Structure 1
């Protein structure tokens, strides 16, 4: 009866206290009765004592603090008033007369205008058959662009004029312009920009003009399916033979002599033409107030 009552009391409290025999039964408890033993060992078991009987599992507390995230921690702001003011100041400096953007825009506009002027003048002169009268002005836009904005600007003006002629008049007109006027204007502008002497400038420009003239003759020989150079050399050979026979010389010049005479005549013709262009363009640039950027001969500087 006593045993059953004790078991019921343990069930009410929800646990059984099981301990080893040698730790709970001592020498004194062996002499007591079972009733006295159970009364001495019976105790009230609380939830705290139940939890304390089990092995304690260590718990780890992480001391993590919440980090306060701000906009400045993520990145720099995309726009500030200071950046806006700096950009406005930079744009204002670029749009001034000496600004980089203003100068580039002005150079582009002037090169485009000179290219359009040269191309339209060449087309009108060719259409009205007055090309020989205005041929000395076709290289002027390229020379002016080279003197004002540099050699690169002169080259761009020449290319733009050739493209305009290619679109409006076809490839023949464009190639003819390049051979007879385009490369000549670029050579003159480059030499004048580098402050070369007139002797060097006239010789190099005349050589470029002569090569362009020979190329022009070769191109038209291919187009009409006729060797124009052969016809020219044959006529020169006949004329030279007639002149020698009229002076009493019964000699026939060789073809090498004929070729030398032909080249000399072409070079002389181009030299006179280029020299006249030098005089005309120098006078024109002087009237425009660009005398300081020219290297004029002393006799010409005193004359003007």
Structure 2
């Protein structure tokens, strides 16, 4: 037996016993580590609970900018703006629908920026040129398309109401005179001078009937007409701001807050 053990030891290289013992020890440690894998694993229910705590139900996820979504919303709001103009032209409801003319372009600016807003205005003009002719489409684009982009830019930058209303009034006055100039070219007659002449003749007749020794002049009538146009556009822009305040807040795209005295009158915060 001693010879057999000596022969067996002769086949084993030196240090193999130590190596085997080290392997057994490492295997034992790995088994010990594997025995605790349940403790190291995260409980799925706890993970779900932590995620639910981090993202509550009432939190709105960030809006992903997708070219498809931008294109769809631009096309939809462009068609909505064209439809509002078309309905108001054939079935006029007074100033009710007119207030909504620039709002689609302003909404697109608040959501997707300047380029999408200009695309909405241009596509609306193209749709109206197909449905009603190029003249009506140009009259819509100037001033209401440009006004919508301007309002969206002011609201996006948080400009006060006074500033956005002032710029909108300038665009509205320019749009009215552009419309008079365009129709004067198409009709071959100066419509502004014609309207001023008729108003002067009417006031002269009215003052004569009332016994007033006042002779209205063309310059005075023009000044009164320009002041009335400016006041009319200011009131229109004020109404547009009020409607946008009520509508766009509910759509998740709020505009700057009104002055304190307006908020007190309409009881809106």
Shorter-normalised TM-score: what interval? 0.5 to 0.7
Q: Which runs of 5+ in 1 are unaligned?
A: 1-95
Q: 2-side partners of 1:129 and 1:277: how far apart?
A: 18
Shift of 1:261: 1.8
Please state if 1:297 is matched with 2:259: yes
Alignment partner, residue 218 of structure 1? 181
User: Which gives a bigger RCO, structure 1 or 2 (Cα 8 Å, sep 6+)?
Assistant: 2
Deviation by residue 1:237-271 (Cα, 9 ceiling, x = unmatched) = 23554566678764534433332222111111111
Please state if 1:154 is matched with 2:117: yes
Q: Do 1:206 and 1:270's aligned partners in 2 also have CA atoms closer than 8 Å? A: yes
Alignment partner, residue 16 of structure 2? none
Q: 1-side partners of 2:96 and 2:161: how far apart?
A: 25
Q: Do 2:143 and 2:174's aligned partners in 1 also have CA atoms closer than 8 Å? A: no
Deviation by residue 1:11-55 (Cα, 9 ceiling, x = unmatched) = xxxxxxxxxxxxxxxxxxxxxxxxxxxxxxxxxxxxxxxxxxxxx
Equivalent of 1:228 in 177, 191, 201: 191
Alignment partner, residue 225 of structure 2? 262
Q: Do 1:236 and 1:262's aligned partners in 2 also have CA atoms closer than 8 Å? A: no
Q: 2-side partners of 1:290 and 1:301: how far apart?
A: 18
Q: Closer, same or farther in 2 for the Cα pair 1:228/1:109, shift >3 Å?
A: same
TM-score normalised by the chain length of structure 1: 0.60
Equivalent of 1:196 in 152, 159, 168: 159
TM-score normalised by the chain length of structure 2: 0.67
Please state if 1:237 is matched with 2:207: no
Specify the structure having the higher radius of gyration (Cα): 1
Q: Do 2:197 and 2:218's aligned partners in 1 also have CA atoms closer than 8 Å? A: no
Q: Do 2:173 and 2:229's aligned partners in 1 also have CA atoms closer than 8 Å? A: yes
Q: Do 1:140 and 1:185's aligned partners in 2 also have CA atoms closer than 8 Å? A: yes
Q: Closer, same or farther in 2 for the Cα pair 1:130/1:226, shift >3 Å?
A: farther
Q: Do 1:111 and 1:145's aligned partners in 2 also have CA atoms closer than 8 Å? A: yes
Deviates more, 1:235-244 or 1:277-286: 235-244
Residue 68 of structure 2 aligns to a residue in which SS? helix
What do you get for the CA RMSD once the two structures are aligned? 2.6
Residue 66 of structure 2 aligns to a residue in which SS? helix
Q: 2-side partners of 1:131 and 1:114: how far apart?
A: 22
More helix by share: 2
